[in-house]
Chain A
């Protein structure tokens, strides 16, 4: 009898821990706004943001912008995943290729996607392609770097086993290297998708006429901080949803691992 009671209070405790801090911050924020300590143009109160959010949702504007942005992200991420996985595997498996490409990758990697905007406009104009290009750049490096790492980290103990069993090169790559690299590859894809989504604001600086990034920049021109915040929060929520989807995929694909969940 006592044991079930403890479990229930545990659940309640966890619930509070999960949402507590956020709720507390929101209440303090609302209170400070209503007391006039925080000016609405600097930081609109949660109540105002909620109203704007609901309005934009109701008249379909928000969903329209979300779908435009999500489409762009998926396009950019798709290309990044294909190229990143392909090149990453080739580089991971070939020492020569690795030596040839290492310098280029290391030098280009730190350049933030935003810095590419001027070139993107010159090369691709102000249409969809330049935006997808920026998003692609954001997602590409996490994917390729993690793929290379995953392949390089192939357990050499398994390599010895494969040598003894005279496993052919193709079977070795398909059955030992790539499955072993899956966790790292999934991490790369996950991080890549996140960065792709974060780049959507940068990408939509290029003459966009739709999308969540556009929504934010547009509201900025008109000094509408509440819409800016709605845009930001939307980006956060969608990002979280995307992350959850990939995590779910990861769990189904990598069924042989048991993850460390904490002390």
Chain B
């Protein structure tokens, strides 16, 4: 078992009443699996992912439970030890590719960044080769040309592929995708999902896919977990949850059609 999460909880101290963002989340993932986490905004799905990646500031938040990743408990590691996993054994891609990329740094450099951090001994040429390779894997056309460009010169879909490339450059075992297609057009969404499926098939990268869109999850994932207000309400193989939902809430989620996202104007997505 690659990932064994047991009773993961995230509680915000804050002033007054403590707020439980994630309530005893448990999940097991094998290598190469694609699992989806589905829920409305505020259900705690992103928080779970961020807690796993160690992106939550430990100052005002209490994270409890355990998350065994290939034997090591991610929640008990020191910051330094955790950093060795981040970007190398597990990566994350976020919802907004424009703001998640450094606007003043060239694409190539951003894709290579994990290499600079985790594999110091590489020459610039070697780094570039690995970066271009990752960019091709992420489905970017003409990576050599894109290498020297800046994020604002790319369309939304391409930026997201850049993020994917950067996340994959060290071939992590787990890729967490936090609503990666929510900010994109529907057609581009489908293409990105195809790319992710492809990557999973070719490289065996396990994907933890977070979304509020059941349709997207159904297209990509083999298993799904439904979250509501921090708690898991239902889980199982995706077809079973989709066609034979047990809980009222799941039924609601399936039957309600989320409002279509307004098509983003401006550059053509691709």
Are A and B subunits of one complex?
no
Residues of B within 8 A of A (CB): none
